[in-house]
Structure 1
Amino acid sequence: MKVFKKGLLFLIGFVLLIVTALWYYTVSLQPQYSGEISIENTIEDVTIHYDTIGVPHINAQNQKDAYVALGYVHAQDRLWQMELIRRIAAGRLSEMFGKELIATDKLFSGLGIEERSAITIQNSDTNAASYKMAMAYLDGINQYIENGKTPLEFTLLGLEKEKYALKDIYNVFGYMAFSFAVAHKTDPLLNEIKEKLGTAYLNELTATEHQNLTLIKNEKNPEITAAFSKAMHHLMDVLPISPFIGSNSWVLGADKTKNGKVIFANDPHIGYSQPSVWYQAHIKTPDYEMYGFHLALIPFPLLGHNKEYAYGITMLENDDIDFYVEENNPINENEYRFKEEYFAYSFVEKHLKVKGEKDSIYTIKVSKHGPLMNGIIEPLATKKPIAMQWIYTKLENQILDVAYTMSHAKSLSAFKEGASRLHAPGLNMMYGDAKNNIAWLASGKLYTHERPLYTKTFLEGASGKDEIAEYLDFEENPQAINPKSNYVYSANNQPDSIRKMRYPGYYLSEDRAKRIVDLVAPKNDWTVPEVAEMLLDVTSPSAPEVIEDLLKMLEVSLLSPSEKTAVYYLENWKGNFDKKEVAPVVYNRWIYEFQKNTFADEMGKGFYQFVNTPLVEKVLPVQAKRQKSVWWDNILTKDKVETKQEIVRNSFKKAFVFLENQLGANVADWKWERVISVEHKHPLGESAILRKYFNVGPFVTSGGDQVINNQIYNIDSTGYYKVSAGPSARRIVDFSDVDNSLAIIPTGQSGRVFSPHYKDQAQKYLNGEFVPMKLNQAAILKSKNTLVLKAKK
């Protein structure tokens, strides 16, 4: 008995020892939110108050000290995220994850981002404030690497920490610019349709770009001073970091609000991931203050506000990538023709380190237009040399100065001057201030070609007739300043005409834009709670119209009772994607079958890329109205010509049978919440063992594709809608009560899995709640956690 008791006590002690060791280990991996840390290269101590959601409020005596502190605290919460994102443009993901990422590394390392970063750094003005503050921020990150706790992900992957340099910041900007672009996913597909099916098929798709438009109106008034398709899809899909996708923003002028001051709203749409894409930080010095949302490795926030102004971004969706078909010299494939001469390709050799494998070595050919995609993306649909010309790598890069100026502007004029220097990616800069100025500025270097062109198919490289003729002056860019409507907005939709033309781009369908205008325009007494409710709106204005057009083709009297029930739900639907609604389930499956039966016979495997491009969302409402179309006939049935009615009827029947098998015989039980879910994925969460620790979710959510609360998912054969992207931050700044402005992000501030702020906002986000963005110094000083970075004397 004594032996048994001793053995039991030993076992209990051993278990307690293991539990204590695990507890200590998890505590040791948490960021330090209080106490003191010695830090170098600061003049004075920096005091950081962490609020209840882990946002650092940095109080410093000068901006340089503040940016050293920002780099340090940003790294201690997000070093793993920084490491991921800095590796993308450099083609270094396969070092971490193995040969599965070689293709993605080849693509990004071949785009010329690193080469452009090197040129930009070589030409940098080292006396510029933007340069000095960026270097201070990097110093803070590198001090954390030297002295701080190593994130668990580094340990699990056996990854050594490396210090950061200015090129890493520029490489992140390059990745951001490319992920904002759409041409690489759309142009190869459209070109293939043109070449293989002919212009009749192409024209029906592209004609939709000029229909069902809610245009952002241009209007400039004075400032108020008061004093390749499938491969590209796959390569982007496997990225272990968030791609940039879309966004909403609207700024309500003083005459549109109950309190007579500007209300600013913004929710950029970005791929969901863990950690969330934005890191919040509030900096306050005697001469500067900004509450900002930062990307990993970017010192200056792309979203921000203080007591004087607020700003944010959405994607402009302009076309800043052109693909050129080059013509090789028939006797020397290392030369290409341009006009009447042959020029030598330049060659760039790349070495990719691959975890557990030999290095992957490849060579990129580069013409005057840019790198050849052949060999970078395999396989291409053509053997012709295809060069990619991208404005980001073609023109001078001032993007660091742009970000600095946005976050340090003293007036709308100064903010606009900063916006004018952006070359790529194209962004809608949204602005509102305490003086009641509001503005929308389409920023990015726009250009015209030497002749009228449809630039979403491949251009001629050899003739010299398809070259850029002129870059537009920024004053010609679409923009609205203090318009008579008393509001500005952007939902990635088509801007109004410039130079008597609508500037070409990959603008999204009008759904979100139309809904914003429908809600904002008639009302002149907006309050913050009402704006918050609008950010959560889940109603599509176009879905009921599509249903109405499709239902005209159904002979409802011939349907079964259960099928009639499904029709009843569709007929009475307002287009809202709420959790308990049945109609969204029927609608999504029906349009999937409708699009498949319309386009898949001609497109083949390309259909599965087409059905999840922004273009298809513009095509759908137009195609649903068409009675005559070259796409109706199924080219695989040689003995008959199908009609629209047959396509619609067969699509409905297939959708209904599928849903019966998927969700049961009772149509009333086909609730949206049964098929839609969201999970915020961490790269290590791909392992089944680690998923529950690193991933956040899955959760049932509400919302749909192209509603204001935009939940972006693929429509595919599965019948389940796994949300991959959506509002990456919801923000509301009210200049009648700026100290109590509101925000929410999808999971939490910290990327450290054992931090209390790893996922503490997740449920609030799902519930449509907000948390305050604190600016009031008295409230900030009440924070329970205070960290002091002690300057070494």
Structure 2
Amino acid sequence: MRPGLPRASPNITSYPKNSCQKRFFFLTNSPIFPCKYKGLKFVKKFVHLLLILSLLLVIVGFGVYWSLKPEYKGEQQIKGLTTTVQVYYDSYGIPHIYADNENDAFRSLGYVHAQDRLWQMELLRRIGRGGLSEVFGEKLLGTDKFFLALGIDEASQKTVSKLNRSSKSVQLSQAYLDGINHFLENGPTPLEFYLTGIEKAPFTLKDIHNILGYMSFSFAQAHKTDPLLSTIKEQLGQDYLIDLEIDSDPNSTLIKSHHPKTTDSMGNSAITSVSKSLDSLGIPLFEGSNSWVVGPEKTKNGKVIFANDPHIGFSSPSVWYEAHVVTPTYEKYGYHLAGVPFPLLAHDRKLAYGMTMFENDDVDFYYEETHPTDSTRYRTDEGWDFYDIVTNTIKVKDADDVNFTVKKTKRGPLLNGIADQISGERPVSMWWTYTNNKNEVINALYEMASAPDLEAIQRALPKIHAPGLNIMYGDAQGNVAWWATAKLYEVPDSVHTKFVQTSTKAFPADKNYLDFSENPQAINPPWHYVYSANNQPDSVNGRFFPGYYLPENRAKRIVELLKPKNDWDATEVREMITDVTSSVNPSVFVDLAKALDIRKLSDKERKILDRMRAWKGDYPLESISATIYHRWIFRMLKNTFGDELDEAQFEQFLTTHMSKRVIAKIVDKPASVWWDDVLTEEIKETHEDIIQKSFEEALAFLINDFGPDEEEWTWDRVHSLEHEHPMGQVAVLRRFFNVGPFPVNGSREVINNLGFGYNAEGFYKVSSGPSTRRVIDFSDIENSMSILPTGQSGNIFSPHYKDQAELFINGEFRKMMMNKEEIQQSESVLTLAPSQKEE
């Protein structure tokens, strides 16, 4: 044997013949020699190439990260600044802007807002002007046509053309836009612009108004509800409307009005397809809210405590951008919509304000009559008039431009062929408060942000004509207040606003508006708190205001908790804002259970029913009763309404607030015409039949999904939240852009309102909920607390893209910093200096 070679194994019949095989033999003691020298050399080169490519990808990725991430430190020169501005970022990426004057402060706000949210700004400004197809292609054409037909862009253009350019609100708005545009021109381009291939363009005053116009639309329930109700009335008859809870309900939990200067008012006082398109893009829809303000008489420290959690569609990034802006003449810690300079929610050391959705009816539909021989004309009370014809061009990605024409009457645009729920040949026009009144919303927001006290806030509110908002207020002086803020109008007794109007004489488009003093409101009421949960306000001067109010569930729970307790502190209010118990659902369950014939149930079904009898209506992750309850409710709704309504109508019904209002009422109305299944002509089903069938189906589906062991039917398995980004629709990008999914407690219409739509699958993907939770304690203003659903930044390369997501899911909070000495200890300081190259 030659020196150096190992002794052969008895099974080895040959020895390595070259250096490649020798190395392989020594490493493996294997008799198989798979390589020749040249082969190994190729493998080595291939491995080296892979290593080089991997290193290059890391370098490129690192370079992309550093070039596209927001800058929270260092110095930037900003065109238009007159003084140096210091921006201190706290540990959650929230900017605290210190400037010597308001113009520089708002210019800086625009810049820092854009570097974290430019893509969100871009999407929101495109909705009102019909610009989504240019980004996402032909699938968004219907959405673009709908918003162009609404006339938001046209109304914005008219508003901007009449602005007083020397007013403070316009000057600060322009400074804010200049800050956005400086970043747009000089800052890194967000990754989404590269992925979609769209070009950046300067932001204008019209963009601000288009964004506010979209916000106003997203509140409007009339588009979803009125056409459906008119269809039910025409196809099924008046009897089918009785039990749909479409009128004011004086027996529910009402928001009580209180006018301090009067003595007689105490205590008596579209769109399914469009919504789906916007939801799929992660564009937030404004849907509901909670807020309550506890007066000093009911708090442990004798100071006002303010709570607010507006309910908005979840998305990534979340809707609000927090910013603390300080000048010698202005200070607000505010929550800003992308592209809007003044906060909709804000506080300082003197006062706090926030909002919920009023849910008033500010949209009316009218049947129109086209001339029998001239399609360019329609009937008016004065005779035949010509339709106004408005033509728009919609740019479409990877396709030719589309010319789009809208016919308009004196009432508004015709929606036939534009809104899916407006069908048939009979023309239907839409009148909308937002586009038919002078728009001063931006002035109102500026005046609210600058207001020093309650009286100044109240003076600004009449300028908000739409959307309808409940403005909630509390201050350091001990005042609490609530105003239903909208331009309300008289409705004749003979008119029901939730149906398409057949007579313009009975209900003309020229509305008789009420003075703001007649709006529902309460200022320092004797019960020492105010609240709103999108529920119905009490009557004012004997008048109920029509609307699309949510059921009393959350309101009842809020009053149930607030009313008896007189020693609230901030910790307890934070616990209350994350409360997951329904005061209504257990009683609904009792009504359902009463209708069951126990003799027809199996032993297992009776055991499950007995288990549910102990349910308190709460929604922790481990709840089993919660899962059974919602499966049962959906089957009950489907079996009750799904026979008279076709599939599209039933789906539309489920998107309305009406479907939520009807649940508790219908189960207590055994004589309702809806209980009979019209598909079984030979049998007339009863209330008991439908509820029994629904219970058995719900349990069968649960067994099919999770097995027969009910211990596996926990709420966390069916109720989840994922914050979606438009780019997350692409499977390979989902994990980078989307945040979640997370199993989440809470449910629809509890205080911790995690809303979802019912579906046949029985898995509830949360679509909306608290867009922030704020608790402001005027006895300790510097330790007031808040949270965002994901994070402050919309830039995926920012450490603040999702750093609050788990805190939010767990019901935790973090401080809203206001102490300057504490703020200045930040390690992330961005200095914004006047540009040395002013043009």
| Distance across 1 between alignment mates of 2:380 and 2:49 | 82
| More deviation, 705-714/661-670 | 661-670
Q: Is the 8 A contact 1:337 1:462 kept in 2?
A: no
Corresponding position of 1:167: 206
Give the one of 62, 69, 79 matched to 1:23. Answer: 62
Matches within 5 A, 1:539-558: 539-558=581-600
Shift in Å, 1:232: 5.1
Shift in Å, 1:731: 0.3
Shift in Å, 1:557: 4.0
Q: Is the 8 A contact 2:586 2:616 kept in 1?
A: yes
Corresponding position of 2:4: none
Corresponding position of 2:127: 88
Corresponding position of 1:672: 715
Corresponding position of 2:563: 521
Give the one of 408, 428, 433 matched to 1:391. Answer: 433
Shift in Å, 1:378: 4.1
| Distance across 1 between alignment mates of 2:424 and 2:483 | 39
Q: Secondary structure at 1:625's aligned position in 2?
A: coil
Corresponding position of 2:189: 150
Matches within 5 A, 1:39-188: 39-188=78-227
Shift in Å, 1:620: 1.0
| Distance across 2 between alignment mates of 1:357 and 1:91 | 16
Matched, 1:562 2:604: yes
Q: Secondary structure at 1:420's aligned position in 2?
A: helix
Task: Return closer, same or farther for 1:198/1:35 CA change in 2, 3 Å cut-off.
Answer: same
Task: Return closer, same or farther for 1:680/1:518 CA change in 2, 3 Å cut-off.
Answer: same
Give the one of 448, 453, 466 matched to 1:424. Answer: 466
Corresponding position of 1:376: 418
| Distance across 2 between alignment mates of 1:688 and 1:724 | 19
| Distance across 1 between alignment mates of 2:202 and 2:274 | 31
Q: Secondary structure at 1:201's aligned position in 2?
A: helix
Q: Is the 8 A contact 2:248 2:536 kept in 1?
A: no
| Distance across 1 between alignment mates of 2:206 and 2:57 | 44
Matches within 5 A, 1:759-774: 759-774=802-817
Task: Return closer, same or farther for 1:9/1:602 CA change in 2, 3 Å cut-off.
Answer: closer
Residue type at the aligned position of 2:750 = V
| Distance across 1 between alignment mates of 2:402 and 2:655 | 32
Q: Normalising by the residue count of structure 2, what TM-score does the alignment of the two structures yield?
A: 0.92
Q: Secondary structure at 1:284's aligned position in 2?
A: strand
Q: Secondary structure at 1:550's aligned position in 2?
A: helix
Give the one of 633, 638, 641 matched to 2:681. Answer: 638
Corresponding position of 1:625: 668
| Distance across 1 between alignment mates of 2:812 and 2:276 | 35
Matches within 5 A, 1:652-667: 652-667=695-710
Q: Is the 8 A contact 1:536 1:768 kept in 2?
A: yes
Shift in Å, 1:331: 2.3
Q: Secondary structure at 1:142's aligned position in 2?
A: helix
Shift in Å, 1:17: 3.6
Shift in Å, 1:71: 0.3
| Distance across 1 between alignment mates of 2:755 and 2:161 | 40
Residue type at the aligned position of 1:348 = V
Q: Secondary structure at 1:631's aligned position in 2?
A: helix
Corresponding position of 1:720: 763
Residue type at the aligned position of 2:76 = I
Q: Is the 8 A contact 2:323 2:335 kept in 1?
A: yes
Corresponding position of 1:324: 366
| Distance across 2 between alignment mates of 1:499 and 1:383 | 41
Q: Is the 8 A contact 1:249 1:490 kept in 2?
A: yes
Q: Normalising by the residue count of structure 1, what TM-score does the alignment of the two structures yield?
A: 0.97
| Distance across 2 between alignment mates of 1:462 and 1:455 | 12
Residue type at the aligned position of 2:96 = H
Matched, 1:261 2:303: yes
Shift in Å, 1:8: 6.0
Deviation by residue 1:616-651 (Cα, 9 ceiling, x = unmatched): 111111110112111111111111211111111111
Corresponding position of 1:456: 498
Corresponding position of 2:34: none
Corresponding position of 2:10: none
Corresponding position of 1:686: 729
Corresponding position of 2:391: 349
Deviation by residue 1:200-253 (Cα, 9 ceiling, x = unmatched): 101221466426511111112279xxxx45445545544541110000000000
Shift in Å, 1:63: 0.3
Shift in Å, 1:555: 2.0
Matches within 5 A, 1:425-440: 425-440=467-482
Matches within 5 A, 1:586-597: 586-597=628-639
Shift in Å, 1:279: 0.3
Shift in Å, 1:382: 2.5
| Distance across 1 between alignment mates of 2:641 and 2:568 | 44
Residue type at the aligned position of 1:341 = G
| Distance across 2 between alignment mates of 1:200 and 1:704 | 32
| Distance across 1 between alignment mates of 2:248 and 2:280 | 29
Residue type at the aligned position of 2:834 = A
Task: Return closer, same or farther for 1:638/1:13 CA change in 2, 3 Å cut-off.
Answer: closer
Q: Is the 8 A contact 2:281 2:726 kept in 1?
A: no
Q: How many residues get paired?
A: 789
| Distance across 1 between alignment mates of 2:676 and 2:612 | 26
Residue type at the aligned position of 1:94 = S
| Distance across 1 between alignment mates of 2:154 and 2:486 | 21
Q: Secondary structure at 2:91's aligned position in 1?
A: coil
Structure 1 unmatched ranges of 5 or more:
none
Identity %: 49
| Distance across 1 between alignment mates of 2:275 and 2:309 | 24
Residue type at the aligned position of 2:792 = Q
Matched, 1:405 2:447: yes
Structure 2 unmatched ranges of 5 or more:
1-19, 21-39, 263-269
Q: Secondary structure at 1:313's aligned position in 2?
A: strand
Q: Is the 8 A contact 2:280 2:726 kept in 1?
A: no
Q: Secondary structure at 2:332's aligned position in 1?
A: strand
Deviation by residue 1:719-766 (Cα, 9 ceiling, x = unmatched): 100001100000011000101110001000001101000000000111
Q: Secondary structure at 2:376's aligned position in 1?
A: strand
| Distance across 1 between alignment mates of 2:683 and 2:155 | 56
Deviation by residue 1:696-739 (Cα, 9 ceiling, x = unmatched): 00110000000000011011101100001100000011000101
Q: Secondary structure at 1:204's aligned position in 2?
A: coil
Corresponding position of 1:749: 792
| Distance across 2 between alignment mates of 1:448 and 1:140 | 43
| Distance across 2 between alignment mates of 1:31 and 1:234 | 31
Q: Is the 8 A contact 1:216 1:489 kept in 2?
A: yes
Residue type at the aligned position of 1:197 = L
| Distance across 1 between alignment mates of 2:828 and 2:333 | 18
Matched, 1:336 2:378: yes
Shift in Å, 1:375: 3.0
Q: Is the 8 A contact 1:208 1:619 kept in 2?
A: no
| Distance across 2 between alignment mates of 1:608 and 1:14 | 51
Task: Return closer, same or farther for 1:465/1:708 CA change in 2, 3 Å cut-off.
Answer: closer
Shift in Å, 1:370: 0.5
| Distance across 1 between alignment mates of 2:713 and 2:312 | 29
| More deviation, 616-625/675-684 | 616-625
Corresponding position of 1:444: 486
Question: RMSD of the TM alignment (CA)?
Answer: 1.7
Q: Secondary structure at 2:157's aligned position in 1?
A: helix
Deviation by residue 1:19-62 (Cα, 9 ceiling, x = unmatched): 12311211221100000011111110111000000000000000
Task: Return closer, same or farther for 1:609/1:378 CA change in 2, 3 Å cut-off.
Answer: closer
Q: Is the 8 A contact 2:248 2:544 kept in 1?
A: no
Deviation by residue 1:257-308 (Cα, 9 ceiling, x = unmatched): 1010000000000000000100000100011100000000000000000101
Deviation by residue 1:155-214 (Cα, 9 ceiling, x = unmatched): 111111111100000000000000011100111111100010011101221466426511
Matched, 1:647 2:690: yes
